[in-house]
Amino acid sequence: MIMRPGQQLLLPANPVFIWLSLIMALLANMVLNMGLFGRAAWVPDLLAVVLVFWSVHQPLRVGVGAAFFFGLAMDVHQGSLLGQHALAYTVLGFGAIAMHRRLLWFPVPQQALQVLPLFIAANVLQWLVRMAAGDPFPGIENFLSPAIEALLWPVVTVLLLAPQRRAPDPDDNRPL
């Protein structure tokens, strides 16, 4: 793959780190849902952000199947309609994999703008599923969550790519 000028060469991603970060994001979502704010409309879905990140950076390891599994885990935890999060996360995973080659050519702030429609689509899909089951329209304040998720994209990028940016054997004679 041709790299952008100035882009750092990354080490391969450790599969244990990938799955551990997904499990930690799932646990963080569970804690956020049980915490002080409960299921507030503006609380970001950290698992969705991490799923999109790994679907963009490692599409062969984290794909639609992993998104579906983690979506079912979120459905069971929240006691929501079984398949609501699974459907939304599956669409997120598919969208991220579909745009991963193009997305990586942009700087991180522009990537955040381009994943924002994915997060909006996932939230709208969850609302539609809930409304089809008889819930009322949740309100316009629910658009805060996808915006916060897009704002978290640069933070998640820095945190999850940090282990790949270290030099395997630092040496004065080898700049890579």
Q: Where are the domains of the chain?
A: 15-165
Is the pLDDT at 169 greater than 80? The verdict is no
**Residue 119 backbone phi and psi in degrees, to 5:** -65, -40
Residue range 128-154, pLDDT digits in tens: 998 898 888 888 888 899 999 999 999
Q: Please state the pTM of the whole predicted model.
A: 0.88
15-165 maps to CATH 2.40.70: no
Question: Letter for the amino acid at 91?
Answer: V
Question: Letter for the amino acid at 125?
Answer: L
Is the pLDDT at 167 greater than 90? The verdict is no
Q: pLDDT tier at 4 (50, 70, 90 boundaries)?
A: low
- With tokens 């994001």, the residue in question is 25
How many C-alpha atoms does 54 have within 13 Å on its Cβ side?
Answer: 27
What is the reported pLDDT for 174? 61
